[in-house]
Amino acid sequence: MVRELTHFIGGRHVAGTSGRFGDVFNPTLGEVQARVPFASAEELARAVTAAKAAQADWAAQNPQKRARVLFAFKALVERHMDELARRLSLEHGKTLPDSKGDVMRGLEVVEFACGIPHLLKGEFTEGAGPGIDMFSMRQPLGVVAGITPFNFPAMIPMWMFGVAIACGNAFICKPSEKDPSVPLLLADLLSEAGLPPGVFSVVNGDKVAVDAILQHPDIKAVSFVGSSAIAHYVYAQGTAAGKRVQAMGGAKNHAIILPDADLDQVVDDLIGAGYGSAGERCMAIAVAVPVGEALGNELIRRLKPRVESLKVAPSLDPDANYGPLVTRAHRQKVIDYIAMGEKEGAEIIVDGRGFALQGYENGFFLGGTLFDKVGPGMQSYQDEIFGPVLQVARAANFEEALALPSQHQYGNGVAIYTRDGDAARDFASRVQVGMVGINVPIPVPLAYHSFGGWKRSAFGDVNQHGPEGVRFYTKIKTVTQRWPSKGGAREGSSFVIPTMK
């Protein structure tokens, strides 16, 4: 029996009315398990009306009261962790522990947002001039929207709405149509935590809903995470319509390995960060760059048996290293990239295409693939594959290794493995990438720092969450005040711009 999912508007679940739906798969079985309604522009407008009606009162609550709702929400998410993770695994395909990590990384942003009374304290200058004080405050934008990708259906909505609603905005979430159930459950938990109806909505849908968000005059800011072509589209359309936009895009993250690195650690990290979540992470390691011929040969020798012995299994199997890919179409896209790599002359060391799991023949599974001798001239190197595929691109020296991620179109994350502090410091300073790991494979900044890549990995100039998130979801107002003081002389009209004398 295929379930029919809903939108969440005005504090309650509502059925879709557009007559358009998308299939939500169980990727382990390869079967449709639910239908998600695709909103029309009218349905989106209804959510905006409800959000607008609720926002002013929400913003008028003192920040401590808003934080208390988030505290209650955090406790509820922890209580429902197993249910959230199970739902997530069954739609996305990632393993249960990885789904819990997805929820936890989002919850860490909610924990950060619980500090909103402190974060919203403005600045004050006493005596900026004679009898003059000056202060600045951060005010919410109003109604804001977030458009999220399939690969972190809990974390990425929480990156956005945790900070947005703490700041006093009303937030409309347009989740990925591939795995929309978790944001709907989060909506229930926010309501249970005491969030007034309308402050958080979920509008499901496809391009029609996204375009309606981009065109609606009452949506003041749009936060987007997804692939680069769409991120660029959202950025261009949203800013042309006068909105504030941050739009995170795709990635191709390199791990540079210098000859003095701890190779056991490197191999463990490449296997985890390359194949975890079937490589469907924007901070996955997609390219390993060993420096020097001998190191390259040794790395391949050690990686090969590890890739061959990866345990690919149903997402609820406790022994799974990773589960199926999200959809049949995405699996096919990854297979096509493997074929392209082979055709372009990369050496295929392990080929995951033949993988099949007895009893799950229709599931979207793919074994791990390992390529050697990949180079910048190859399309399969230039593009994001987003699957369980690790490409080894050998470099002759440090400068050649530094140039690879620096010259790549994407600049999300990068890692360097070395015991040489000077080399690591030099690399971190010069590499043209937004997030750098030193002996750390997935350098995702913690909630109280901010997340964002460079080049085609992010459009707009304000990062996600942390202090940058607070900046994104607020506008600054600066007040200059003078009170008539006893005995103070009036100065009369001045036709000259006031300056500090």
In the bound state with ligand NAD, the residue whose beta carbon lies nearer, of 102 and 269, is 102
Examine residue 463 and tell whether it contacts ligand NAD (CB under 6 A). no
Annotated catalytic, 282? yes
Find the part of the chain contacting ligand NAD (CB under 6 A) among 83-91, 147-155, 388-396, 421-429.
147-155
Query: What type of residue is 3?
Result: R
In the bound state with ligand NAD, the residue whose beta carbon lies nearer, of 235 and 365, is 235
In the bound state with ligand NAD, the residue whose beta carbon lies nearer, of 58 and 275, is 275
Strand pairing of 454-455 and 410-411?
Answer: antiparallel
# of chain residues touching ligand NAD (CB under 6 A) = 26
Examine residue 223 and tell whether it contacts ligand NAD (CB under 6 A). no
Q: How far is the CB of 443 from ligand NAD (least distance, A)?
A: 13
In the bound state with ligand NAD, the residue whose beta carbon lies nearer, of 350 and 433, is 433
In the bound state with ligand NAD, the residue whose beta carbon lies nearer, of 129 and 467, is 467
Nearest residue to ligand NAD, using CB? 226
Distance separating alpha carbons of residues 316 and 92, to the nearest angstrom: 11
Both structure tokens of 354 = 């033949």
Binding marks (x or -) toward ligand NAD, 366..385, rule CB under 6 A? Answer: ------------------x-
Binding marks (x or -) toward ligand NAD, 186..215, rule CB under 6 A? Answer: --------------------xx--x-----
Examine residue 434 and tell whether it contacts ligand NAD (CB under 6 A). no
Neighbouring C-beta atoms of residue 423, cutoff 10 Å: 18
Examine residue 230 and tell whether it contacts ligand NAD (CB under 6 A). yes
Does an H or E element contain 128, and which?
strand 123-129
CA separation, residue 202 to residues 156, 170, 187, 410 (Å): 14, 11, 7, 30
Does an H or E element contain 159, and which?
helix 155-166
- The strands making up 143-147's β-sheet, listed across from edge to edge, are 12-14, 7-9, 200-202, 170-174, 143-147, 219-225, 244-248, 458-459
Examine residue 69 and tell whether it contacts ligand NAD (CB under 6 A). no
Segment 476 to 495, residues that bind ligand NAD, using CB under 6 A: none
Does an H or E element contain 117, and which?
helix 116-119
In the bound state with ligand NAD, the residue whose beta carbon lies nearer, of 69 and 286, is 286
Examine residue 227 and tell whether it contacts ligand NAD (CB under 6 A). yes
Greatest extent of the chain over all pairs of C-alpha atoms, in Å: 91
Examine residue 457 and tell whether it contacts ligand NAD (CB under 6 A). yes
Segment 387 to 416, residues that bind ligand NAD, using CB under 6 A: 412
Conformation bin of residue 194: beta by default, left when phi > 0, alpha when psi is -120 to 50? left
Q: How far is the CB of 260 from ligand NAD (least distance, A)?
A: 31
Task: Please work out, in degrees rounded to the nearest 5, the angle formed at the alpha carbon of residue 356 by the alpha carbons of 276 and 288.
Answer: 35
Backbone angles phi, psi at 283, to 5 degrees: -115, 20
Examine residue 38 and tell whether it contacts ligand NAD (CB under 6 A). no
Examine residue 147 and tell whether it contacts ligand NAD (CB under 6 A). yes
Q: How far is the CB of 423 from ligand NAD (least distance, A)?
A: 27
Distance separating alpha carbons of residues 24 and 5, to the nearest angstrom: 10
The neighbouring-strand residues paired with 348 are 371
Examine residue 25 and tell whether it contacts ligand NAD (CB under 6 A). no
Positions of E strands within 326-473: 347-350, 369-372, 389-392, 410-411, 413-417, 435-438, 454-455, 458-459
Catalytic residue among 114, 167, 173, 282: 282
Examine residue 150 and tell whether it contacts ligand NAD (CB under 6 A). yes
Examine residue 176 and tell whether it contacts ligand NAD (CB under 6 A). yes
User: 3-class DSSP state for residue 35?
Assistant: strand
Segment 256 to 285, residues that bind ligand NAD, using CB under 6 A: 282
DSSP label at residue 446: P
The candidate with the shortest Cα–Cα distance to 330, out of 103, 30, 100, is 30
Q: How far is the CB of 360 from ligand NAD (least distance, A)?
A: 23
Which residue in 63, 101, 106, 149 binds ligand NAD (CB under 6 A)? 149
Examine residue 177 and tell whether it contacts ligand NAD (CB under 6 A). yes
In the bound state with ligand NAD, the residue whose beta carbon lies nearer, of 107 and 234, is 234
User: C-alpha dihedral over 154, 160, 165, 169, to 10 degrees?
Assistant: -140
In the bound state with ligand NAD, the residue whose beta carbon lies nearer, of 453 and 466, is 453
Q: Tell me the catalytic residues.
A: 282
Residues that bind ligand NAD in the complex, under the rule CB under 6 A: 147-152, 174, 176-177, 206-207, 210, 225-227, 230, 248-251, 282, 384, 386, 412, 453, 457
